[in-house]
Amino acid sequence: MSKLTDAFKNQKAFIPFVAANDPDFDGTVNNVVALAQGGADIVELGIPFSDPIADGPVIQAADLRALKDDPDLPMDTIFDMVKAVRKQTDVPLVFLTYLNIVFRYGYEAFTARCEGLGIEGLVIPDMPLEERNELEPIAEKHHVDLIPLVTPISGDRIEKIAASATGFIYVVSSLGVTGERSEFANGLTDLVNRIRKVTDVPTAIGFGIHTTEQATEMAQIADGAIVGSACVNIVAEYGRQAPAKLTDYTKQMKAAVNANPVR
Amino acid sequence: MTELNLKLNKNTSGRYGEYGGQYIPETLMNELDRMAKAYEHYKNDPEFKTELHDLLVDYANRPSLLYYAERMTKDLGGAQIYLKREDLNHTGAHKINNVIGQALLAKHMGKTRLIAETGAGQHGVATATIAAYFGMECEIFMGKKDTDRQKLNVYRMELLGAKVHPVTSGSMVLKDAINAALQDWTKRVDDTFYLMGSATGPHPYPLMVRDFQSVISQESKQQLKEKTGKLPDMVVACVGGGSNAIGSFANYIDEPSVQLVGAEAAGKGVETDLTAATVERGSDGIFHGMKSMFLQNKTGQIIPVYSISAGLDYPGVGPEHAYLAKTGRAKYVGITDDEAVQAFEYIAKTEGIVAAIESCHAVAYVEKIAPKMRKDQIIVCTLSGRGDKDVASIAKYRGVDIDE
From the number of C-beta atoms within 10 Å of its C-beta (0-12, 13-18, 19+), residue A156 rates as exposed
In this structure, is residue A21 part of a structural domain?
Answer: yes
| pLDDT (tens digit per residue) in B80-127 | 999 999 999 999 999 999 999 999 999 999 999 999 999 888 999 999
**Of these residues, B95, B107, B111, B221, which one is catalytic?**
B95
CB count, 10 Å around CB of B366? 29
**Of these residues, A22, A55, A63, A217, which one is catalytic?**
A55
| Residue B403 pLDDT > 80 | no
Task: Domain ranges for chain B, please list them.
Answer: 26-57+95-205, 61-92+213-398
CATH number for the B61-92+213-398 domain, one of 1.10.8.60, 3.30.70.660, 3.20.20.80, 3.40.50.1100? 3.40.50.1100
| pLDDT (tens digit per residue) in A194-213 | 999 999 999 999 999 999 99
Phi, psi values for residue B164, rounded to 5°? -105, 125
Indicate which of A67, A123, A126, A132 best probes the interface with B, i.e. most B CBs within 10 Å of its own CB. A126
The SS3 assignment for A198 reads: helix
Residue B217 is a catalytic residue: no
Give yes or no on whether B26-57+95-205 and B61-92+213-398 have one common fold. yes
In this structure, is residue A197 part of a structural domain?
Answer: no
Q: Quote the CA–CA distance of A214 and B125 in Å, as a whole number.
A: 43
Residue A159 is a catalytic residue: no
What pLDDT score was predicted for residue A157? 97
Task: Tell me which chain B residues have a C-beta less than 8 angstroms from the C-beta of A105.
Answer: 299-300
User: How sure is the predictor about B10, in pLDDT bands with cuts at 50, 70 and 90?
Assistant: confident
Domain count of chain A?
1
Q: Rounded to an integer, what is the distance from CA A127 to the centroid of its chain?
A: 15
Which residues in B201-307 belong to E strands, given as ranges? Answer: 234-239, 259-267, 283-287, 289-294
ipTM of the complex: 0.95
* Domain residue limits at A32: 12-148+210-258
Q: Quote the CA–CA distance of B275 and B270 in Å, as a whole number.
A: 6
In this structure, is residue A254 part of a structural domain?
Answer: yes
Mean pLDDT confidence for B184-205: 95
Question: Using the beta-carbon criterion (under 8 Å), do B298 and A176 form an inter-chain contact?
Answer: no
User: What Cα–Cα distance (Å) separates residue B66 from each residue in B62, B218, B380?
Assistant: 11, 12, 8
> Does any CB of chain B come closer than 8 Å to the CB of residue A127?
yes
In this structure, is residue A1 part of a structural domain?
Answer: no
| pLDDT (tens digit per residue) in B271-281 | 999 999 999 99
Question: Using the beta-carbon criterion (under 8 Å), do B188 and A175 form an inter-chain contact?
Answer: yes
Q: Rounded to an integer, what is the distance from CA B377 to the centroid of its chain?
A: 26
Mean pLDDT confidence for B30-40: 97
Higher pLDDT, A234 or B401: A234
CATH 3.40.50.1100 for domain B26-57+95-205: yes
**Of these residues, B31, B43, B86, B117, which one is catalytic?**
B117
Min mean pLDDT across A28-32, A170-174, B160-164 is at A170-174
In this structure, is residue A231 part of a structural domain?
Answer: yes
In this structure, is residue A184 part of a structural domain?
Answer: no
Q: Quote the CA–CA distance of B137 and B152 in Å, as a whole number.
A: 21
A143 and A115 in contact (C-beta within 8 Å)? yes
pTM of the model: 0.96
Indicate which of B301, B302, B303 best probes the interface with A, i.e. most A CBs within 10 Å of its own CB. B301
Task: Tell me which chain A residues have a C-beta less than 8 angstroms from the C-beta of B29.
Answer: 128-130, 154, 157
| pLDDT (tens digit per residue) in B128-158 | 999 999 999 999 999 998 898 888 899 999 9
Which domain CATH number covers A73?
3.20.20.70
Q: Quote the CA–CA distance of B94 and B106 in Å, as a whole number.
A: 19
Q: Which secondary-structure segment (H or E) carries A76?
A: helix A75-86
Mean pLDDT confidence for A19-31: 97
| Residue B214 pLDDT > 90 | yes
**Of these residues, A22, A44, A120, A217, which one is catalytic?**
A44
What pLDDT score was predicted for residue B185? 93
Q: Pick from B31, B187, B287: which is nearest to A176 by CB? A: B187
In this structure, is residue A3 part of a structural domain?
Answer: no
What pLDDT score was predicted for residue A125? 97
Min mean pLDDT across A183-192, A218-227, B130-139 is at A183-192
User: From the CA of B251, how many Å to the nearest CA of chain A?
Assistant: 30
| Residue B58 pLDDT > 80 | yes
| Residue A261 pLDDT > 80 | no
